Chain A
Amino acid sequence: MGIDESFRGLRLLDQLAFGETAVHRLDPRAKVLVTLIYVVTVISFGKYDLSALIPFFIFPAVMISVGKLPAGFVTRKILLLSPFVLMVGIFNPIFDRETLVRIGPIGISGGWISCTSIVVRTMLTLGAALILVGVTGLPAICSALEKMGMPRVLAVQILFLYRYLFVLAEESGRVSKAREMRSFGRRGLGMQTFSSLVGHLLLRTWQRAERVHMAMLARGFNGEFHTRKEFDFGLRDLLFLFGWTALFISLRFWNLSQFLGDLLTGIFS
């Protein structure tokens, strides 16, 4: 992934949080909690569970639609599966060859089922994280986590990082492009140029941090960050939290796919 592309993705995801929909207006704590419950529920399935995982696509689908997130962008991001997970997952069919399911002459081994299950889990869990950011925004997630007990120092740290991420990513993008334009093909892309490039970037960053700190002190910074919106946990948030939680728990215990499939095969046979 090139600098430009990953940076553009970052920008877009950041902009999405400024939406004004019903999910955007919810208390960030409710959204963080629902996302965590969702991820834990998805993870808690056994490794051969596949059909029971499918109904869980309802959460990303509803959130993307109601939150008016660009479905194509989120799907693309999720489908860019981590190569590490794929590498580990692809070993399941190799080590687990016992046939578990037979459809006519075709036997499907347990390994392929658990491998597919890993892929589906990846899509569900990573999608949940991206959607959380898209409908909430990092600053709001941060203040929600802080209200839920995350240390203030880490909250301030994440907000700082986030504020300067865009500044520095732009800077490193410029630097990197300038280097590429001056190095036809290979020369100049090696470690030596890289280290002095990054070294300079580091020193400039360091000086910037010192200036930033002085400027903040001059404006009376006392360790407190103020966010744009103040939230209070209302009935709407409570309904959101309990509604989704109830759905996740019932889908955890009750295999909807199997039920629908049984219903259909029952009707046609």
Chain B
Amino acid sequence: MHMADALLSPAVGGTMWAVSAGMIAYSSAKIRTGLDEKKVPLMGVLGAFLFAAQMINFTIPATGSSGHLGGGLLLAILLGPHAAFLTIASVLIVQAMFFADGGLLALGCNIFNMGFVTAYLVYPLVYRKILGRDPNQGRMALAIMVSAIVGLQLGPFGVVLETHFSGISELPFKTFLLLMQPIHLPIGIVEGLVTLAVVSFVYKARPEILQAALDAHPIGLHPVRNVLLSFLAAAIVTGGIVSWYASENPDGLEWAIARVTGKDDLQEPGKGVYSMMAAIQQSTAFLPDYSFRKTASGERPEIIKQNPASGKVGTSISGILGALITLVIVFVTGFVLRRRPAT
């Protein structure tokens, strides 16, 4: 479930970008210093494998619909947290660019929701904890199932939080939560079953791969704690900076507009009808006492009288009209540029 640019506010998107960039720097440093270099091509090729595997569908029993592998947990099991995090991040980056999944600003959110949650929360705190010190098949099955379900509850929860704090969607927090979490329960179960089947296959064919992954990252409290602490620090710092700016001036750009147009408080979304109406009027109005619009509203009394805030109809009609004209101009520009001889 990819978070999308269209549902994000700059503050939330920027914060999540900063957090994810910090995590990428951390895991890159870990890989450069700690791991055997053999893993670098392996990570790249496994990232490509994840794409290839996601292209193959299977039918989900009892429903008749089809699904595909998510694969984040599989990578974490095979590669360990740091390498898996970077691989998932690279997959998401390529998806954002080539498949238009989510978008560029939402990358921060997506890397967090899928990469960080899987590699740095679910893998060390759920999977390794259940697996314990001497893993066996039964424990592994349980660990994979629980991890997949937990991961696919936490990820969508992140989406809900990010959407909520961005405030573009009108969905109430609770409704959205009740919509997202139950949908992802069966998805998590299916993901767990498929991951388990693939891991058992690999275990039967080449057990040393899984053994190497387990040996490479012995469970100690330190790495997890370091990661959590650094994440917490990053979140507090970036969140603090962003919210400070946000409280100082609701939105840097809004504030600048207020300065430019000489008005304060352009928009207060969600604070009653009046302010919303005022918001849309002000945000669509170019210079409030613009003479053209006054004429327009004067000439159309039959429309105007339905509206308490006078002049709005004129702006809305001219807004729609203007948007159409702008679109035409855009198309013509594109067309003219296209017909131009090659440079």
Contacts and interface: CB of A to CB of B under 8 A. Distances in A.
Contact of B94 (A84, A104, A150, A165): A165
Nearest to B313: A102
A241 interface: no
Interface string A101-143: 1111000001101100011011001101110110000100100
Given A54-B323, A154-B28, A258 B318 contact: yes
A147 interface: no
A261 B48 contact: no
A164 interface: yes
B226 interface: no
A258 B315 contact: yes
Contact of A80 (B31, B100, B193): B100
Interface stretch (B6-14, B124-132, B234-242): B6-14
A72 interface: no
A128 B321 CA distance: 25
Contact of A259 (B24, B69, B205, B322): B322
A269 B295 contact: yes
Interface string A153-193: 11011111111110111011101100100000010011111
B302 to A, nearest CB: 8
Interface in B289-343: 290-293, 295-296, 299-300, 303, 306-307, 312-323, 325-327, 329-331, 333-338, 342-343
Nearest to A136: B97
A55 B323 CA distance: 8
A202 B74 CA distance: 11
A255 B321 contact: no
Interface of A is mostly: helix
Most B CB contacts (10 A, CB to CB) among A153, A193, A256 go to: A153
A142 B330 CA distance: 30
Contacts of A202: 49, 53, 198, 201-202
A101 to B, nearest CB: 4
Most B CB contacts (10 A, CB to CB) among A62, A80, A125, A157 go to: A157
Interface of B: 1-2, 4-10, 13-14, 24-25, 28-29, 31-32, 37-38, 40-49, 51-53, 55-61, 66, 69, 86-87, 89-91, 93-94, 96-105, 163, 167-172, 175-176, 190, 193-194, 197-198, 201-202, 205-206, 209, 251, 253-254, 256-257, 260, 266-267, 269, 273, 276-277, 279-280, 283-286, 290-293, 295-296, 299-300, 303, 306-307, 312-323, 325-327, 329-331, 333-338, 342-343
